[in-house]
Structure 1
Amino acid sequence: MDEKKDGYTNPAFVITEEALEHEVGLDLYRDAADLEYTPAEAKKVRRKIDAWILPMFCMCQGLAYLDKTGTNYGNLFGMRASLHVSTAQFAWFASAFYIGYLICAWPANLALQKYPTGKVMGIVTFFWGIVSVTPGLGLMTPLWWTLQEQPIRHLTWYCFNGVASIIGSLVAYGLGHATHSAVATWKLIFIVFGSFTSLWGIFIFIFLPDSPASAKFLTPEQRIIGVKRVAENRTGTKNTEFKWEQVREAFVDPKLYLLFVAAIAAQIPNGVVSNFSTIIIKGFGFTQLQTTLLDIPNSVVQISSLILSGFLAGRFKNSRAILMFVGNATCIVAACALTYAPHHETWGRLVAFWFTSFQSVGFSLSLVMISANIGGYTKRQTTNAITFIGYCIGNIAGPHVLLEREATTGYPTATKAMLAGYVVKTVTHLVLGAYMLYWNRRWDKMAIARGELLSEAQRRKLAEEVGMTDATEFNNPYFRYAL
C-alpha cells in the first residue's frame, strides 16, 4: 500500500513496553483486555465520575471565569474613573490578561502532559491570571467520558461561564450597596472573586485525580472499567511522551488552521461581551444597579443554549457540526439586530444582545471536536494550544473595538466587529465539517480498496485498540470523525 497516497503511515498495532511506560492507563487496558463488564457496572462508574469529577470541572471553569471578568464589574463600579484611565487604556487591562494567557498556553499544555493533571490544574487555579484552566479541562474531558457522553459534560462545565456571570452580577449587586466600606466597591469585587478561586485551587491540587487509572474514589475493578470505557473514544488516554512527529502532523493538518481562525473570530465578540457587557447595557439607558441585574438574562441564554446543545449532540449521532451552525447563525441574526435596529428600540436591542450568548455553542463544540477527533496526545494538545492562542488573539483584539466616543450611538464599531466575527466563525466551522466528512468518505473507500469486510462494531474495536497506542487519526485506518 502506498502510504502517502492512501493517507496513512504505518500504524503501530503492537503495544510495546515503551508505549506502556508513557501511555496512562495502558497497563490496565492490556492486563484486562478480556475483562467483560455489564452496562450496569459501566453506568455505576459513570455515575461516580459524574458525581466527583464533573462538579470539580464546573467549579474550576466558573471560578476562573468569574475571577477574570472582575474588570467588567469593576468598570461598572468606578474602576476606570478611580484609576484615571480612558476607555482605550482600560481596554488594555482586559487584553493584558490574554497576553499572559498567550505566552503561557504552550508551556501549560506541556506541564499538563508531563505531570499529574490534577496537581497542575490545582497550581494553575491557585495562581489564576497566569494561564487558563479551560485548555486543561478540555484535555481532561476525554480521559473521563466516552465519545457520546462528552458533549453534554463538556458543555455543562463550560456553561459555568454563564453560572459564574449570574453569581458575579448578584455579588456585584450586593457589594454595590456597601457604600460605607473603607475599600472601594470595585476593589472588593476583585478581593472576593480572587480569594475563592485561590482556595479552590488548593482543593483541586489535593483531590483531583489524573485519570480513571489513579482515581481513589473508584475501586480497582472500576478503574479498569473507567479506562476501558474511554478507550472506546479511539484517541487513547494520556501519553506523557512529547512526540515531535505528532507536532509536525498537527501543523500540516488543515483542521488546526480552521480551528485557529475560528477561535480568533469567535473571541473578538467575546472580548467585547465579557469585558463590556455592563457598559453596553448601561448605554441602553439603565441605572448602575439595574444593569447588574439585566446582565443576568445574558448568562441564562448562554447556560440554556449550551446545555441543550450538549444534550442534542450526545443524543443524535453526527449532529455537532449542525448545532455549531445553528449557534453561529443565531449570533449573526442577533448581531444584525443589535447593529441595525432603530436606536430607540431599547428592549429589542437588549434582547438581541442577550442572544449573542449563543456564541458559546459554536466555540465549545469546536473544543469537543478536538477531544473527539484528534488522535495522539501530543497532536491533540498541540491543536488545543494553537486553538487557545487564537482564543487569546481574539480576546486581546476584542476590547479595542469598543470606542468611547460611540457611547451615545450604541457602539456600532463594536457590534459590527461582533457581526464580522460571527460570519467568519460560521464559514470556518462549515469548512471544518465538510473537510471531516470528506475524509470519512475517503477512508471508507480506502477500506473497500483494501478488501476490509468489517462490521461497524469490529471497526470501532480495532480503532480503539490502535488508538490506545497513541496513534493519530491519520495513523489509525479504522478511525472515523465524529461530526
Structure 2
Amino acid sequence: MATTEKQLSSQSLDDVPPKEKDVAALPLSDATVDIETTYGVNEKALLRKLDYKLLPALTLLYLLSFLDRSNVGNARVEGLVTDLHMTGNQYLTGLTLYFIGYVLFEIPCNVVLKLTSPKIWLPTLTLAWGIVATLLGVTQNMAGFFAARFFLGVTESGLFPGVVFYLSMWYKREEQHYRISLFFSAASLAGAFGGVLAWGIAHMRGVGGLNGWRWIFILEGILTVLVSLAAYFFIANYPSTAKFLTDKERASIHTRLASNSDATRNEAFTWQNVRLALSDPKVWLYGLGFHTMSLPLYTLSLFLPTIITELGYTAAQAQLLTVPPYAVAFVTTLAVAVASEKLKIRAPFIMGPASFAVIGYIILLSSEKAGVAYVGTIFAAAGIYPATAIVLSWPANNVSGQTKRATANAMQISIGNLGAVLGTQLYRSRDGPRFFVGHGFAMGYLCMNVIVVGSLWAILRAENARRDRGERNDRLVGVATDEWLGDDDPRWRFQT
C-alpha cells in the first residue's frame, strides 16, 4: 500500500523515526518490519497487551448486548406472553420489531462512530440499551413490549459493526479475524450464561409482587447500565491517543499498520466514500453471506428455550438445557477461528460449519424422540456460531478505505438482519415440537450460505489472480505514488 510518512496518524514528520518513514513508504504487503530492532518493542508482547486491554472490555459489552436481546426467549417460557395478554403471533411481532429498529439504524450509528469516538459512542450505546432493557421488565401491555423491543434494536444496532471497524484500526488485516471471532464468541457465552441466569432469577417469582420474567429483564438491564458507566473509563480511543500505550508502542502500532492497511491514514469522512460501499457488489455479497447465517443464528438464540420446552421438558429444565448447545458452540467458534487463522483461509471455514449445522436441522426435522432432537440443537449451534463469526470478519479484512469499511460493516449487519426479521415469524406455537417451517427455513438458508460464500470465494480469488497478472494496473495511470485507491487499488489483495 503506497502509504507515505505524512499519512501516519496525527504525528508530524519530525516525530516519525527515520526507519518508520522508510517502512511507511513501502507498498502494502511488501514491508517486513522488525519492531524490536526499530523501537525496542517486542511485537508478540505488544499484541498480548492490546488483546488484554481491548478484547475483554469489548467482549463484555457484546455479551451483554446478546444477553439483553435474546433473554426474551427465556422470559417467554416464564410467562411473559400470558402476563401481557399477547397471542403467540403478537409475541413474534415484538421480536420482528427489534430487528426492524436494528436494521434501520445500523449505518447511521457507524457514521456517528466515525464522526465521534469509540470512547464516547460505544458506552453511550450500552447505557441506552441497558435502560431500554430494564424497562422491558416493567412494561404492562403489548404496546409497551412492542415499543421497548423496537428501541432495544435501535440502541443495540451500532455496537457490533462499530467494534469490527474499531478493531480494524488497531490490528493488521491477518490479525483481525481471530480477534473478531473471539469477540463474537461472547454471543454463545451469553446464551449459556443467560440460561443459567434465567433459571436462577426465575426463582425470584413473587418478589416485589413481580413475576420471574420481569426480574430477568430488570436485573440483566441494570447490570448493563452499571457496566456502561464503567465503560466510559475502560474503553480506549484509537492508537494515536490511547493512554495505556507508551510512545514507542504507539509508533510501533503505526508502523505495523502503515505497511498493511489504511488504518494510519488521516481520512476525512465524505459521503462519496459511503457511496463507494453502496455501489460495490462485493459488499452486498458480504451482506448476503451474513443474511443467510442470521436467520438460523437468531431463530436458534431466540427460540431455543421454546424448542426445548416443546420437546417435553419443563420451563426450568429448558432454561438449563440451553447451556450445553451454547457451551459447545463457544468451543467450536474458537477452534474454527484458530484453524482458519493458521491456514489463512476464510471461505472453507464458513462453508464447513454451515454444512455441519445442516446435519443438526436434519436431525431436528426427522426425529420424534426428545433426546435425539435435543442433540440436533447441539449440532446446529456448533456449526452456526463459528461460521457466523468468520463471515462477520470478512469485510473488515477485505474492504479498504476507513469510511467505506465502516459503511460496509454496517451494511453487512443490516442486510444480514433482514434474515432475522423473517426468522422471527417462523416458529409459531402451533408448529411444535417439530417446527417444520422454522427448521426447514433455517436448513435452507444454511444451504444458501454455502452457495453464496462459495461464489464470493471464487470472485475474490479470480480478482486476486487478475491483479497478480497486472490486468488492473491501468487504474494507477495518472495516480500519485502516495495516493491510495482503497480496495480498488491493484496493489490490494483480498483475503479468501
8 Å Cα contact 2:3/2:484 also seen in 1: no
CA contact (8 A) 1:147 1:232 kept: no
Change (3 A) 1:329 1:478: same
CA distance in 2, matches of 1:101, 1:232: 35
Note the alpha carbon deviations across 1:97-139, whole angstroms, 9 max, x for none.
2222122111111111111122110101111222331111111
- Quick one: structure 1 residues 480 and 187, their matched pair in 2 at CA, closer, same or farther if it must change by over 3 Å? same
For 1:203-242, what aligned pairs fall within 5 Å after superposition?
Answer: 203-237=230-264, 241-242=268-269
Counterpart check, 1:446 vs 2:431: no
CA pair 206-304 structure 1, distance change in 2 beyond 3 A: same
Shift of 1:235: 3.5
On the 8 A contact 2:65/2:156 being kept in 1, the answer is no
**Identical aligned residues as a percent:** 23
Answer yes or no: is 1:131 the counterpart of 2:145: no
> Does the 8 Å contact 2:177/2:397 carry over to 1?
no
- AA partner of residue 491 (structure 2): Y
Please list, as runs of the form range in 1=range in 2, the aligned pairs for 1:191-340 lying within 5 A after superposition: 191-237=218-264, 241-317=268-344, 319-339=345-365
- Cα distance change on mapping 1:33 and 1:329 into 2, 3 Å: farther
1:292-441 alignment to 2 at 5 Å?
292-317=319-344, 319-339=345-365, 341-343=366-368, 345-357=369-381, 358-407=383-432, 409-441=433-465
In the superposition, relative to structure 1, how do residues 122 and 367 fare at CA in structure 2: closer, same or farther (>3 Å)? same
The aligned residue for residue 478 of structure 1 is 491
Contact kept, 8 Å, 1:246 with 1:472, in 2: the verdict is: no
- The equivalent residue for 2:169 is 143
Select between 427-436 and 32-41 the one with higher mean Cα deviation: 32-41
Moved more, 169-178 or 24-33: 24-33
Q: Distance in 1 between matches of 2:193 and 2:10?
A: 38
- For the 8 Å contact 1:69–1:274, the answer to whether it is kept is yes
Query: What's 1:458 paired with?
Result: none
TM-fit CA distance, 1:28: 8.2
1 CA distance for matches of 2:270 and 2:96? 32
2:104 paired with 1:106? no
Report deviation, 1:294: 0.8
1:146/1:232 contact within 8 Å kept: no
TM-score, structure 2 normalization: 0.85
Q: Which amino acid in 1 is paired with 2:375?
A: V
Residue by residue over 1:413-451, the C-alpha shift from the partner in whole angstroms, topping out at 9 and shown as x without a partner, is 10001011111111111111111101110000017989x
Tell me the residue number matched to 1:3.
Answer: none
How high is the TM-score relative to the length of structure 1? 0.87
Instruction: State the shift of 1:247 in Å.
Output: 2.9
Cα pair distance change 1:374/1:195, threshold 3 Å = same
User: Deviation per CA, 1:337-377, whole angstroms, max 9, x where unpaired?
Assistant: 222x231x322221111221221222221221111111001
Q: Give 1:223 shift.
A: 1.0
What amino acid is aligned across from residue 422 of structure 1 in structure 2? L
**What is aligned with 1:8?**
none
The equivalent of 2:132 in structure 1 is none
Could you list the per-position Cα deviations for residues 130-181 of structure 1 after superposition, in whole angstroms to 9, with x for gaps in the alignment? Answer: 2331111111122222233222211111101111111111111111222441
CA contact (8 A) 1:42 1:229 kept: no
SS in 2 for 1:212: coil
Quick one: distance in 1 between partners of 2:493 and 2:11? 22
Paired AA for residue 481 in structure 1? F
Task: Give the C-alpha shift of residue 387 in structure 1.
Answer: 0.9
Shift of the 385–323 alpha-carbon distance from structure 1 to 2, 3 Å rule, reads: same
Q: Partner residue of 1:90?
A: 91
Structure 1 residues 306, 108: CA separation in 2 closer, same or farther (over 3 Å shift)? same
Helix, strand or coil for the counterpart of 1:69?
helix
1:248 shift after superposition: 3.2
Higher alpha-carbon deviation: 35-44 or 398-407: 35-44
1:31 aligns with 2:16: yes
Does residue 186 of structure 2 align to residue 160 of structure 1?
yes
Q: How far 1:24 sits from its partner (Å)? A: 4.4
- Structure 2, unaligned stretches of length 5 or more? 21-33, 130-151
Q: Paired residue for 2:81?
A: 80
Q: Structure 1 pair 243/474, CA: closer, same or farther in 2 (3 Å)?
A: same
Distance 1:45 1:342 in 2: 51
Residues 361 and 377 of structure 2 are in contact (CA less than 8 Å); yes or no, is this contact kept in structure 1? yes
Amino acid at match of 1:433: W
C-alpha separation between the residues in 1 aligned to 2:353 and 2:223?
32
Distance 1:121 1:65, change over 3 A: same
> Using CA pairs below 8 Å that are at least 6 residues apart, which structure has the higher relative contact order?
1
Structure 1 residue 258 displacement after superposition: 1.1
Contact 1:272/1:398, CA 8 A, preserved across alignment? yes
SS at match of 1:223: helix
SS at match of 1:481: coil
Q: Contact 1:247–1:382 at 8 Å: present in 2 too?
A: yes
Is the 1:29–1:228 contact (alpha carbons within 8 Å) kept by the matching residues of 2?
no
Distance in 1 of aligned mates of 2:224 and 2:125: 10
Indicate the RMSD between aligned Cα atoms, in angstroms: 2.4
Task: Give deviations 1:6-47, integer Å, cap 9, x for gaps.
Answer: xxxxx976666xxx5xx8457589824514621862222212
Contact residue 374 and residue 472 of structure 1 kept, 8 A: yes
Local SS of the residue matching 2:204: coil
In the TM superposition, what is the alpha-carbon distance from 1:383 to its structure 2 partner?
1.2
Counterpart code for 1:349: A
Residues 218 and 83 of structure 1: CA distance in aligned 2, closer, same or farther (over 3 Å): same
Unaligned runs of 5+ in 1: 1-10, 453-464
User: Structure 1 276/238 Cα, relative in aligned 2: closer, same or farther at 3 Å?
Assistant: farther
